[in-house]
Amino acid sequence: MADQELIPIYIMNKQYLVPPTLTIMRALEYAGYKLIRGVGCRAGFCGACATVYRTAGDYRLKIGLACATLVEPEMYLAQIPFFPAPRAQYHLEELKPDMSALLKTYPEVLRCLSCGTCTKVCPQDIDVKDYMAEAMRGNIAGVADKSFDCIMCGLCAARCPAEEKQYQIAILCRRLYGKYLAPRAEHLHKRVQEIMDGKHDAELIRFKTMSKDELKKAYYERDIEPE
């Protein structure tokens, strides 16, 4: 590819010429970097590749996922292996699924300014401001439902002027909902109890002795529960 078709970007303050059609992640690899951290699904779902960057002539600090953001001329890059927002230590057994749990673990939940910056930066297009409003009302189920697609990348916290930890608050609510509020899956509970009682031990031993082809055959011939 001819030089005039390439654009300059800066990685660790060193200039590289890369094709303008690449994502940040692909550009890093094109420049010779071997990615061993800060890379996961490569499809915008795992949140592992949070990136901070600036562009020429723009004073603003920008943030995006490296696997989903295209390079721009004169882009200055810095990778974030994970966003270092403090995570509260808690035991679900000691919490109730209500406002008291949020105030005990993340009292700053009430600092939310409802500015919407978190919603604008979310790569999953989640209305973060909306679920934070539910959190301030103590609606655990509402937060769990509206934050369901969160990939824990931390970009919402990175841009929050109130220094909230939205994604940490959201996963606490999803855990509380799963433990206390979600309808109990009786068939799952029954199966777990069967496993604990050793009912399937012989079958598991039999599977461990099978060849790969035998396992495939057993898989495709298995009974499938009706929808």
- Same domain? 194 vs 176: no
Q: Quick check: 19 and 28 in contact, CB under 8 A?
A: no
- Same domain? 107 vs 171: yes
Residue 90: strand, helix, or coil: coil
pTM, rounded to two decimals: 0.68
Domain's final residue, options 31, 50, 79 = 79
Q: Which domain, by its residues, includes 214? A: 189-220
What's the CA gap between 17 and 9, in Å, rounded?
A: 6
State how many domains the chain has: 3
Q: What is the DSSP string of 133-176?
A: HHHHTT-HHHHHHHTTT-----HHHHH-TT---HHHHHHHHHHH
- Same domain? 123 vs 152: yes
Domain's final residue, options 79, 109, 129 = 79
- Same domain? 65 vs 114: no
Structure tokens at 129: 């401001």
pLDDT tens string, the chain, 227 residues long: the values are: 445 589 999 998 899 999 999 999 999 999 998 887 778 888 877 878 888 899 988 888 888 889 989 999 999 987 776 677 888 999 999 999 999 999 999 999 999 999 999 998 888 889 999 999 999 999 999 999 999 999 888 889 988 999 999 999 999 999 999 999 999 888 888 999 999 999 999 999 999 999 999 999 999 998 876 65
Tokens 């960057």, residue located: 53
- Same domain? 19 vs 63: yes
- Same domain? 170 vs 194: no
Domain's final residue, options 51, 79, 107 = 79
Structure tokens at 187: 């068939």
**Relative orientation angle of helices 166-176 and 128-136, to the nearest 10 degrees:** 60
For the chain, state the CA radius of gyration. 23
- Same domain? 201 vs 171: no
What's the CA gap between 33 and 53, in Å, rounded?
A: 17
- Same domain? 128 vs 167: yes
- Same domain? 153 vs 206: no
Tokens 């035998």, residue located: 214
* Assigned domain for 84 exists: no
